[in-house]
């Protein structure tokens, strides 16, 4: 899978973040020259600390909202994995302007810089939030609804810009609609922590996790290794039909929040039996949340030969083990 990247340089924007740092690690493990662009607003220096002495790794501290930083990062780069963004629906509701500046203006800057540097392919983090109020399950790439949050709007705009840049400038792109990614290095701290690392931290601290609603909302939780596979396949595919489109990145199964909490309890109680006795609490549903999410991954299987290796149980087991040893 990595043969097509030998002697090439890959830029990972947001490379100090959760997904970005895992991508950097995979590329470096496979001896691929890797450039990381990050402003450390949400990314963490400790995520990339193990890579700093690697001769194949270059860190550029910069901001995608600054076109000059984007041009600097894209210089002599063959491929871009664009992960830099401000995630979180609640964050976008609280501060839509900054979310738009980073996710739309920053995205446009990166497209321009990639175009100017003659980058061969631009693979970017899209989002399952693009499906919006479309209720049918599973989610199929060519049928979406109206966005339910400022964040969802920004991620849909990314897809529109990517399409235009291909048609206008010939820049090949692939958008990856991530479905609730989880795994090692996902930050459990802060106001906008994702549900899995947040619940893990609370269980480890003998605190009750709080579920929004009755726990029946469901998600297609996707382990980080499946996401890495899709990114590398998107970079390396030689199938022209697979380019200039978007894909769901998921496992293709859904888990309710109550089932998730129970699963986390089960695996964490192997380290501390007392965790099994912690009560799960509930509060009102959150504004902007969609009730259910489930991806069709048939398009990715067909065009990219995607074959996700980790289901929710296997992924949770791996993630819990990492958190127990690193929190």
* Boundaries of every domain in the chain: 3-182+222-251+305-310
Q: Do 159 and 175 touch, CB atoms closer than 8 A?
A: yes
Rounded average pLDDT over 32-40: 98
Retrieve residue 71's tokens. 């041009």
Q: pLDDT value at position 291?
A: 84
Please list the residues that pair with 126 across neighbouring strands: 177
For the segment 87-130, what is each residue's pLDDT rounded down to a tens digit?
Answer: 888 899 999 999 999 999 999 999 999 999 999 999 999 999 99
Q: For a pLDDT cut of 90, what percent of the chain falls above it?
A: 91
Alpha-carbon distance of 19 to 26, in angstroms, equals 11
For the segment 213-247, what is each residue's pLDDT rounded down to a tens digit?
Answer: 999 999 999 999 999 999 999 999 999 999 999 99
Alpha-carbon distance of 24 to 59, in angstroms, equals 11
Q: What is the CATH number of domain 3-182+222-251+305-310?
A: 3.40.50.720
Nearest to 37 by CA among 5, 2, 80, 99: 80
Q: Do 47 and 17 touch, CB atoms closer than 8 A?
A: yes
Rounded average pLDDT over 19-45: 97
For the segment 195-206, what is each residue's pLDDT rounded down to a tens digit?
Answer: 999 999 999 999
Q: pLDDT value at position 1?
A: 81
Q: Does the annotation mark 151 as catalytic?
A: yes
Enumerate residues 6+ apart whose C-beta is below 8 A from 42: 14, 17, 86, 87, 187
Enumerate residues 6+ apart whose C-beta is below 8 A from 162: 111, 122, 124, 173, 175, 244
For the segment 252-278, what is each residue's pLDDT rounded down to a tens digit?
Answer: 999 999 999 999 999 999 999 999 999
285 pLDDT higher than 90:
no
Alpha-carbon distance of 27 to 235, in angstroms, equals 11
Please list the residues that pair with 50 across neighbouring strands: none
For the segment 144-167, what is each residue's pLDDT rounded down to a tens digit?
Answer: 999 999 999 999 999 999 999 999
Q: For a pLDDT cut of 70, what percent of the chain falls above it?
A: 100
- Which of 79, 124, 131, 151 is catalytic? The answer is 151
191 pLDDT higher than 90:
no
288 pLDDT higher than 70:
no
Q: pLDDT value at position 158?
A: 98
Computed over every residue of the chain, the mean pLDDT equals 95
Alpha-carbon distance of 209 to 11, in angstroms, equals 37
Q: Look at strands 245-249 and 181-182 and give their pairing.
A: unpaired
């Amino acid at each position: 899978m990595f043969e097509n990247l030998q002697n090439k340089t890959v830029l990972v924007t947001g490379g100090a973040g959760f997904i970005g740092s895992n991508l950097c690690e995979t590329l470096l493990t496979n001896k691929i020259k890797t450039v990381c662009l990050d402003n450390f607003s949400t990314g963490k220096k400790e995520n990339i600390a193990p890579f700093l002495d690697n001769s194949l790794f270059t860190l550029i501290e910069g901001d995608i909202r600054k076109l000059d930083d984007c041009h600097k990062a894209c210089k002599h780069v063959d491929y871009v994995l664009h992960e830099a963004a401000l995630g979180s629906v609640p964050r976008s509701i609280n501060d839509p302007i900054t979310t738009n500046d980073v996710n739309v203006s920053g995205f446009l800057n990166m497209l321009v810089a990639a175009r100017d540097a003659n980058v061969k392919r631009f693979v970017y983090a899209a989002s399952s939030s693009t499906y919006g109020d479309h209720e049918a399950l599973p989610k199929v790439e060519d049928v979406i609804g109206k966005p339910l949050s400022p964040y969802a709007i920004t991620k849909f705009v990314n897809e529109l810009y990517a399409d235009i840049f291909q048609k206008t400038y010939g820049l090949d792109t692939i958008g990856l609609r991530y479905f609730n990614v989880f795994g090692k290095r996902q930050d459990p701290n802060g106001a906008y922590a994702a549900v899995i690392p947040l619940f893990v931290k609370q269980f480890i601290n003998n605190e009750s996790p709080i579920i929004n609603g009755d726990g029946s909302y469901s998600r297609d939780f996707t382990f980080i290794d499946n996401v890495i596979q899709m990114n590398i396949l998107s970079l390396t595919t030689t199938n022209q039909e697979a380019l200039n489109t978007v894909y769901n990145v998921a496992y293709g199964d859904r888990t309710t929040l109550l089932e998730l909490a129970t699963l986390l309890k089960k695996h964490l109680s192997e380290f501390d039996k007392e965790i099994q006795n912690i009560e799960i609490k509930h509060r009102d549903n959150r504004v902007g949340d969609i009730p259910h999410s489930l991806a069709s991954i048939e398009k990715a299987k067909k065009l990219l030969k995607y074959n996700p290796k980790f289901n929710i149980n296997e992924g949770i087991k791996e993630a819990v083990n990492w958190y127990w040893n690193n929190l």
